[in-house]
Structure 1
Amino acid sequence: MIVTLTANPSLDRAVALAAPLAVGEVQSVVAAREDAGGKGLNVSRVIAAAGGSTLAVLPLDPADPFATAVHQTGLPVRAVPVRGAARTNLTVTDPAGTTTKLNALGTARTEADATALREATVAACADADWLVLAGSLPPGLPDDFYVTVIRAVRERWGTRAPSIAVDTSGAALQAVVADGRPDLIKPNDEELAALTGTPLDVTVDGVDRVREVAATLVPHRVGAAFVTLGSAGALLITADGAWHGTPPPIRVRSTVGAGDSSLAGFLLARTAGAAPADAVRGGIRYGAAAASLPGTQPPAPADLPTGDVPVVTLT
């Protein structure tokens, strides 16, 4: 069982253009779709599509049209009643796969909402293997909200507590790394650079430099780091070693949700007992599949690319 918490879910609207985005111009849309989104929901959707067991925790106003989109996913959901609609995000993609994202802040949540979300997450973790805390925090929730969730889950379940993965950024990620001691974080290279205060460009500095920067956090701050690198693949750093994998060639249609799918693929492999190198392969295959699909459509096993995913051990 993999439980996810999406504190700031969104109705994700995606449009595909017939030509590159031209600011200030009127352009034709060739395709459009709407999905119930947010990083945790995206992870749960991928896990469910693969036949895995998952439960998605999220705030939900029953009167919000977003509720219909959530129910249409067919996911097992533990909805925490709140007032106020979920945010709406817009993604624009051109024929070359270049993606422009416009993300709203979200509805402000109260201290009572925070308590209810935390309690619902703790209850959902009974017999869970992993808890995924994913996405931005809405206005009103403190930067250390995920830290309080981690502590509450571990206090309640003790040795039966699930492993905890965190996929967020900015102040929320800073707080988790400072005080939460998660088992896994999943930054991309830009988020890792911001987290450590180290300028980092994988296309210039190389994968070894990413490993060196991530190793400043592992294992004394976080148990492991699974760093997604876009077209450069992904890198896993643990206390026992580091592994880098490169993706097979694909036609990119939308990068939205690709990192979430990578995390889902990685966790699916780990819960199945896969070795680190194979878990990296799983994460890369799912991320590549997501990038080849429109919008935030979750990839299913049939969507996975069949090309080779080389994984090397770094020293």
Structure 2
Amino acid sequence: MILTLTPNPSVDHTLEVDDLVRGEVLRVRATRAQAGGKGVNVARALLGAGVDARAVLPVGGGGGAELTTLLGDLPRVTVPIEGETRGNVAVTEPDGTTTKLNAAGPTLSSTEIRTLLQALEDELAKDPDWVVASGSLPAGAPDDLYVRVAELAASYGVPLALDTSGAPLGAAARAGSVELLKPNLEELADLVGHTPTTVGAVTEAAREVLAKGNGAALITLGGHGALYVGLEEVSWARGPRVRTRSTVGAGDCALAGFLAHEGTPEERLRQAVAWGTAAVSLPGTTLPGPGDVTTDGVTSTNDPDPQWRIDKL
């Protein structure tokens, strides 16, 4: 079973338009509302693939009630809060261009944060195989919240996968104890202070972060695939070219695919890329099911040439 923590979940509203033009009245071709937040996406993707998953998240107000309904039969622990669960908007165009309007979300009190961490600890005591902590932090949460999550996970012997950005990612990466970091290239660049442009430079940057006491990194590269960097091994994989309908949730699906499968890092990376490729071919925050995911057309290699340029992969 895989446990997820989403401190700042959302209701995600997707609007499909022919062309996004500022200042114009636009006709919306399709709309949908789905449960959102990175950890929620991971749990939903896993559940859809038949993998046991359980989500821990705070909910509040009318947005929280809507989110709870949209979660459907996803196993979960919801922590009531005074604030209003946020609503996000994604506007997608036919070529896959996605414009996201993400609300800041509610402010959590120190008591609500303690209650959320206690709910997580109660679930960690049930011995999940992984805990995934992901997404932005709500106002009121300290930048080191994920450091505290890592300490809790370590105390129960549960490996932690972390997918976040900015100060929370920096704090957790510096503190160590994260079994799997999942930055994209921009987030990795923020961690090391420069943008790596080759496979070798990405590997070096990732290992600089791993040297703080972290286990491995799954680095998503958008249309250029993904790299797995361990302390000794490196693997690269890329999916087939597909029509991109929405990039929202693709990284979450890649992480879910990696965690859902066993095998070598390269085999798990192939699954991650297959799940991410399936996700971008679907509208809005629609998550792929088993019938959408295939490793056919996925290219992968161990020990890729360090001179390969990322933009040429």
Give the TM-score range, shorter chain.
over 0.9
Runs of 4+ that moved beyond 4 A: none
**SS at 1:294's partner residue?**
coil
Work out the CA distance in 2 between the residues paired with 1:285 and 1:146.
28
Secondary structure of 2:62's aligned partner: coil
- Shift, 1:117, TM fit: 0.8
Q: Counterpart of 1:212?
A: 204
Task: Say which SS state the counterpart of residue 216 (structure 1) adopts.
Answer: helix
User: How many pairs are equivalent?
Assistant: 302
- Report 1:181-200 matches (<5 A): 181-200=177-196
Please report the TM-score for the alignment, with normalisation by the length of structure 2. Answer: 0.93
Tell me which residue corresponds to 2:311.
Answer: none
Q: Hey, what's the Cα distance between the residues in 1 that align with 2:302 and 2:238?
A: 12
Q: Cα distance, 1:163 vs. partner?
A: 0.7
Structure 1: stretches of 5+ with no match in the other structure: none
Residue in 1 that maps onto 2:33: 34
Matched, 1:228 2:220: yes
Question: 2:192 is aligned with what amino acid?
Answer: T
Cα gap change, 1:275/1:145 in structure 2, threshold over 3 Å: closer, same or farther? same
Aligned-residue offset at 1:222: 1.5
Question: Partners of 2:284 and 2:77 in 1: how far apart?
Answer: 24
* 1:84-126 CA distance string (max 9 Å, x none): 1111111011111111111111100010011011111111122
Cα deviations by residue, 1:182-201 (Å, 9 ceiling, x for unpaired): 0011000001001111123x
Q: Deviations over 1:98-157 (max 9, x none)?
A: 1111111110001001101111111112220000000000000000011112212323x2
Amino acid in the other structure paired with 2:285: T
Matches within 5 A, 1:293-308: 293-305=282-294, 307-308=296-297
Distance 1:148 1:64 in 2: 29
Which region of structure 1 is more displaced relative to structure 2, 23-32 or 167-176?
A: 23-32
Contact 1:44 1:54 survives alignment (8 Å): yes
CA drift of 1:305 comes to 4.2
Structure 1 residue 275 displacement after superposition: 1.1
| Equivalent residue number for residue 313 of structure 1 | 302
Show the counterpart of 1:280.
269
Q: Tell me the C-alpha RMSD between the 2 structures.
A: 1.4
Output aligned runs, 1:56-71, within 5 Å: 56-61=55-60, 63-71=61-69
1:239 paired with 2:231, answer: yes
Q: Give 1:290 deviation, angstroms.
A: 0.8
Percent of aligned positions with the same letter in both sequences? 43
Residue-by-residue CA offset, 1:223-257 (whole Å, 9 max, x unaligned): 00000000000000011300000111211000000
Partner in structure 2 of residue 139 of structure 1: 139
Which amino acid counterpart does residue 214 of structure 2 have in structure 1? V
- Structure 1 stretch displaced more, 290-299 or 302-311: 302-311
Matches of 1:137 and 1:236, distance apart in 2: 26
Contact 2:173 2:212 in 1 (8 A): no
Q: Distance in 2 between the 1:265 and 1:219 partners?
A: 25
For 2:108, the equivalent position in structure 1 comes to 109
Cα deviation for residue 40 of structure 1 reads 0.3
Distance 1:27 1:136 in 2: 30
TM-score for both structures, normalised by structure 1: 0.92
